[in-house]
Amino acid sequence: MIKYIYFILIISISFTKGVKIMFEPSSTISYKGFHPAHDWIGESNNFKGGIICDDNSFNECFIKVAIPLNSFDSKNSGRDSNMLLYTESNKYPYVKFLSNQFSISDSFSESLNLSGELEFHGIKNNLSTEINLSVQDSIIVGLAKFTISLEDYKVDRPELLFIPISDEVEISCRLTCSNSLGVFQNEKR
């Protein structure tokens, strides 16, 4: 029993150590779907995530994001219900991203090459993208755009007029967080 309590104490201390820079509510992640009849965009600003660093040297950092699929809004409730059905959101309710380790203090400039693992529809695939960074007053803004294949994540494609939607879905991210720790400067390092 004492070993168990000691283990829980060590785990809780290790999670409280470090620096967390959480994404602001103004952050958005959207997907764009394509079909010969029309294109559409579904957007979410209801997700959790941020930059987590081991300590305030900002040398060992990760980006973590978890987005509930039911938080995406395409301004068409029928289309949103269909998306939830085809992505089997009852079994796989979240899209998750965990970056590989990177250093803020050594690599910050106007862009950051970031790789990691995207989990969608119960499948994990490697992903690489470039994040364009800027500092606007006390806010850090990161913009990224990349494309995923529904086939790579074993998602069946719905059809409209007997024509399936495109296999490719374009993802756009606008991630904002506070620069209250002064990690990022207005000029290149």
For the chain, domains (ranges, CATH) are 24-178 (2.40.128.110)
3-state secondary structure 142-159: EEEEEEEECHHHCCCCCE
> What is the per-residue DSSP string for the chain?
-HHHHHHHHHHHHHHHSSEEEEBPTT-EEEEEEEETTEEEEEEE---EEEEEESSTT--SEEEEEEEEGGG-B-S-HHHHHHHHHHTTTTT--EEEEEEPPB-HHHH-SSEEEEEEEEEETTEEEEEEEEEEEEEETTEEEEEEEEEEETGGGTPPPPEETTEEPPSEEEEEEEEEEE-TT--S-SS--
pLDDT along the chain (189 residues), means of 10: 40 55 94 92 95 81 95 95 95 96 67 92 96 82 94 91 91 88 51
At residue 14, the pLDDT reads 42
The token duo for 168 is 């490719």
* pLDDT tens-place string over residues 60-99: 889 999 999 999 999 999 999 999 999 999 999 999 999 9
CA distances from residue 99 to 61, 66, 118 in whole angstroms, order as listed: 9, 12, 8
Residue 76's Cα: distance from chain center in Å? 23
| Contact assessment for residue 84 and residue 93, using Cβ atoms and an 8 Å cutoff | no
